[in-house]
Amino acid sequence: MSGFGLFHHAYWQPFSYIGITHPLLTIQLDLVLTTWLVIFLLLFFALGGRYALKHPDSLLYTAYMALIREFMALVEQSWNGKCPERYFLMITTFFIFILTCNWLMLLGLEEPTANYNTTLALALISFFYIQKETLRNHGLKNYLQEYFKMPLAISSFSLKKLPLIILQCALNIVAAVALFPLELMSKISSILSLSFRLFGNILAGSIVFTLYNSLVNGSLLTQLLGLIIPVNIVILGFFGIFEGIIQAFVFTILTTTYLSLATTTPVSE
């Protein structure tokens, strides 16, 4: 286990004792611990919601209900006035989890979303969930036709039109094979878009805050200046609170848009 890099991460190679040190089998301990911390914080958040539901006259109940109404309104707008419960739960969970990860900076910890492994995992969950719901709503045939485009309509069968029908089928097969890589790339691009956008913005905030701390802790004079000039509060306010909310919302709204288009728009005519 060693610490290195800008943030001095701690790594563990569980199979190093038998000579296996491949990067894919290396575990970043601080990332695992902060992710589990987020999970436990969400557990307390869920218990708080359970308590709030039992005390409808409390301020906590009002806060929870305001959050629920906002996300229900978001889902209803995306699904033409309807609010599918499973989509509401998925979208709200995304937002709360990412926001909690982003706000770990306020506790002096590095955000899990500043690591590309986390944002890629979130993007993959979003992508495969959308594919599952597309398949569920439109069926296997229409789902596959989204990847294998066949632009030519087949004429009604007759012996006179048989050569034309064979030609149309052949051209459709050629078009499907030619367009498949493009369609696949367009789908995969959503994974890269979601993961890199969240990762890049959160990592940038972490780098700025880390560099500022390194500068302030360089000498006693800079530490005194850091206490007099509250730049750290501005950095925490912008990159911690504001940017954390914005990036969590952007990831959530993009997932909502992709999911809405996939489940409400006919895949194939």
Q: How confident is the model at residue 209 (pLDDT cuts 50, 70, 90)?
A: confident
pLDDT above 90: residue 211: no
Across the range 236-240, mean pLDDT stands at 75
Task: Classify 8 as helix, strand or coil.
Answer: coil
Distance in angstroms (rounded) separating the CA atoms of residues 49 and 31: 27
The encoded tokens of residue 174 equal: 């050629």
Domain range spanning residue 130? Answer: 30-138+180-264
CA distance readout (Å), 101 to 89, 118, 159, 166: 18, 10, 65, 57
CA 33 – CA 126 distance, rounded (Å): 23
d(CA 71, CA 75): 6
Q: Is residue 228 part of a domain?
A: yes
d(C-alpha 209, C-alpha 222), whole Å: 15
pLDDT level of residue 222 (50, 70, 90 thresholds): low
Query: What pLDDT is stored for residue 219 in this prediction?
Result: 67
Please determine, for residue 135, whether its predicted confidence score (pLDDT) is greater than 80. Answer: yes
Sheet holding 9-12, edge to edge: 2-4, 9-12, 27-28
Res. 251: pLDDT tops 60 = yes
Residue 172 belongs to some domain of the structure: no
Instruction: Classify burial at 46, counting beta carbons within 10 Å of its beta carbon; exposed 0-12, middle 13-18, buried 19 or more.
Output: exposed
Kindly report the number of other CB atoms within 10 A of residue 240's CB atom. Answer: 22
Q: How confident is the model at residue 74 (pLDDT cuts 50, 70, 90)?
A: confident
pTM value is 0.81
Degrees (nearest 5) of the Cα angle 204, 205, 208? Answer: 85
Q: Is the pLDDT at 98 greater than 80, yes or no?
A: yes
Partnered with residue 28 across adjacent β-strands are 11
Least confident stretch, 146-155, 172-181, 193-202: 146-155
pLDDT in tens, 157-192: 555 666 666 676 777 677 777 777 887 888 888 898
Q: 44 in a domain, yes or no? A: yes
> Which segments of the chain does DSSP mark as H helices, in order?
29-54, 59-78, 85-102, 116-147, 162-216, 220-228, 231-235, 243-264
Place of tokens 């999911």: 259
* Domain annotation covers residue 219: yes
pLDDT at 95: 93
Q: Is residue 222 part of a domain?
A: yes
Measure CA 65 to chain center.
24
Residue 5: which H helix or E strand, with range?
A: none
231 in a structural domain: yes
How many domains does the chain divide into? 1
In a domain, 10, yes or no: no
Residue 125 to residues 91, 93, 131, 190, 198, Cα–Cα distance (Å): 12, 12, 10, 12, 14
Decide if 226 is inside a domain.
yes
Band of pLDDT at residue 5, cut at 50, 70 and 90: very low
